[in-house]
Amino acid sequence: MSGGTPVVPRESTPERPSPPTPLPTVGAGGHGGDGAPILEVRGVSKRFGGLQALNDVDLTVRPGQVTGVIGPNGSGKSTLFNVITGVARADRGSIRFRGTEIARLSPDRINRLGLGRTFQLTRLFGQLSAFENLVVVARGNRASAGTRADELLDLVGLRHVRDEYAANLSYGQQKLVEFVRLMMSDPSLVLLDEPFAGVNPTMERRLLEQMDGWLAAGKTVLVTDHEMKIMMEICSEIVVLDHGETIARGTPEEVRADPRVMEAYFGR
Ligand SMILES: Nc1ncnc2c1ncn2[C@@H]1O[C@H](COP(=O)(O)OP(=O)(O)OP(=O)(O)O)[C@@H](O)[C@H]1O
Ligand SMILES: [Mg+2]
């Protein structure tokens, strides 16, 4: 483990009085975003039968920043994340993570290189406790994994449900456990597939505070979500997919002002 516990700006997370309130400073300006890309996706295509789910997609993720992928339902966002993490295999194209070609590697190999992810639908082990769900993914020493798991549960205010079956946790708590579970393998890049979907404002704030801490600890985030307000606030750069093609990219302001983006969402 490097860097230890991420810095979280506010330990207590009061209910948001009434939306909108300022979000934590996730992403704002980023840290060291001018460095060489941590992830470079070039010309990636993926077909499912007759459906071209991804067509010649390029994506560049800079270290220390939050990069966003948006697009209508079915535009290929999860497929792109699956291809990057080895869960699905690209038909064509190159994916370089910290300079290493990973397009043909297994999900486990990719994870061991420092790339972690969450899934659109949480994938906790329902019949394991929150604590066990963290420890089970740890590598190496079990005692130190247990200590780390308790630290992480403390950090997100979930110590009181440490021994609950994951299946009995609320949806937001499950998301939070999956979120901190990522940190058990100390990834340098995390991919988050719809982390904010269906999450109440209190949990949303805790997730954002976690992300803030990750960024402060030098980690990088690639995220997709339909919560446009949050995406616009946290992302330094956004790529827009439609029918598996990249139709726009740029800062949130540039993307928001791009007529192709409006058309993709509302035009047909
Ligand atoms: N394993 C699969 N087999 C066949 N088709 C698939 C498979 N996975 C995804 N697809 C199809 O590929 C297209 C892109 O799906 P994907 O899940 O990547 O979209 P998405 O942008 O993540 O959508 P959403 O916003 O609803 O999560 C969809 O038409 C989907 O039905
Ligand atoms: Mg998806």
The domain that holds 238 is classified in CATH as 3.40.50.300
Q: Are residues 219 and 196 both part of a single domain?
A: yes
Contact assessment for residue 199 and residue 175, using Cβ atoms and an 8 Å cutoff: yes
Give the closest residue to 23 by CA, choosing from 219, 176, 204.
204
Query: Which of 44, 45, 46, 51 maximizes ligand 1 atoms within 8 Å of its Cβ, making it the mutation to test the pocket?
Result: 51
259 falls within a domain: yes
Residue matched to tokens 């079915």 = 74
DSSP letter assigned to residue 22: P
Ligand 1, pocket residues at CB < 6 Å: 48, 51, 53, 71, 73-79, 120
Distance, in Å, from the CA atom of 192 to the CA atom of 37, rounded to the nearest integer, reads 18
Same domain, yes or no, for 180 and 248?
A: no
* Same domain as 267, residue 212: yes
Tell me the β-bridge partners of 96: 40, 101
Going by alpha carbons, the residue nearest to atom 8 of ligand 1 is 79
pLDDT of amino acid 122: 78
Helix (H, G, I), strand (E, B) or coil at 257: coil
Same domain for 84 and 194, yes or no, is yes
Q: What is the rounded distance in angstroms from the CA atom of residue 129 to the CA atom of residue 180? A: 14
Task: Tell me which residue of 83, 115, 88, 86 sits closest to 99, measured CA to CA.
Answer: 115
* Judgement on whether residues 129 and 250 belong to the same structural domain of the protein: no
Domain count, the chain: 2
Counting atoms of ligand 1 from 1, which one is nearest the CA of 241? 21
Name residues of the chain where pLDDT drops below 70: 1-34, 268
Where is the domain boundary, 159, 186, 213? Answer: 186
Residue 22 lies inside a defined structural domain of this protein = no
Whether residues 195 and 263 share a domain: the answer is yes
Contact 203, 164 (CB under 8 A): no
Asked if the structure places residue 253 within a domain, the reply is: yes
pLDDT at 25: 60
Q: Are 27 and 65 in contact (CB under 8 A)?
A: yes
Tell me, what DSSP letter sits at residue 143? H
Confirm whether 144 is domain-assigned.
yes
Report the distance separating Cα 4 and Cα 63, nearest Å. 19
Looking at residue 17, its pLDDT comes to 41
Give the number of whichever ligand sits closest to the CA of residue 193: 2
Mutate which of 46, 47, 48 for ligand 1 pocket (most atoms within 8 A of beta carbon): 48
Specify the pLDDT at position 72: 94
Residues paired with 237 in a beta bridge: 67
Residue 265 belongs to some domain of the structure: yes
Same domain, 100 and 221: yes
Are 110 and 196 members of one domain? yes
> Are 100 and 136 within one domain?
no
First to last CA, the chain: 48
166 lies in which domain range?
125-186
Contact 247, 58 (CB under 8 A): no
Q: Helix or strand or coil: residue 106?
A: coil
pLDDT of amino acid 34: 59
Q: Which residues contact 71 (CB under 8 A, 6 or more apart)?
A: 77, 224, 240, 241, 242, 264
The answer to whether residue 8 is domain-embedded is no
- What's the 76 CA to ligand 1 centre distance in angstroms? 6
| 26 in a structural domain | no
Q: Are 152 and 206 in the same domain?
A: no
Residues 202, 173 share a domain: no
Last residue of a domain, one of 144, 165, 186: 186
163, 131 contact by CB (below 8 A): yes
Domain boundary among 163, 186, 209: 186
Both 199 and 220 in a single domain? yes
Q: What is the pTM of this model?
A: 0.86
Instruction: Please report whether residue 129 resides in a domain.
Output: yes
**In residues, how long is the chain?**
268
